[in-house]
Amino acid sequence: MRSKPTDASPETVDTRSEVKGELFLDILQSTGIARLAVTGASMLPAIWPGDVLEVERRGADEISPGDVVLFTRQGGYTAHRVVAKTGTADRPLLITRGDSLPAPDDPISPEQLLGRVVAVLRGGRRLEPRPTRWGRAAAWILARSEFCTKLALHLADWRRPL
């Protein structure tokens, strides 16, 4: 989201976000697939702010390293790439990390997992969120340089039509 309405109070904006989140969950649980807009930059360069994620409901046993998953954490949603699976066959845990982040997240429990990202919708195109050599190299740089991350976001915002 580029800007917030100036006449909306922070409480109104938070309420709208909460309602959108609840609606997303309802759709995902009832149909098995739903779409959600991205607001963060932790998955650069594979996923950019403004992209829309298409998420399919999946269990932890159906997830493999390299998949991008959506999970709940601290009252919000996070989409990060699975880097490892741990735990037991009865209770698998997923280790995730944002592509442009230097360290992995705390393990994801089956209860936190919402599903697997099957597509990234950007500018009328449907992309798979798979890692590439170029993407891994760019992510390595972005994870180590806040300046490069800010520059990439600025350039992408500048190129995006209003």
In order along its 162 residues, the chain shows pLDDT tens digits of: 333 344 443 444 456 777 888 889 899 999 999 999 998 889 998 999 999 999 999 999 999 999 999 999 988 899 999 999 998 888 999 999 999 999 999 999 999 999 999 999 998 999 998 888 888 888 888 888 888 888 888 877 766 555
**pLDDT on residue 156:** 74
Q: Estimate to the nearest angstrom the gap between the alpha carbon of 135 and the chain centroid.
A: 16
pTM above 0.95, yes or no: no
Q: Estimate to the nearest angstrom the gap between the alpha carbon of 139 and the chain centroid.
A: 15
**pLDDT on residue 4:** 39
Q: Which residues pair with 92 in a beta bridge?
A: 87
**pLDDT on residue 126:** 96
Residue 93 belongs to what H/E stretch? strand 92-97
Domains of the chain, start order: 10-159 (2.10.109.10)
List the Cα angle 117/120/121 in 5-degree steps.
140
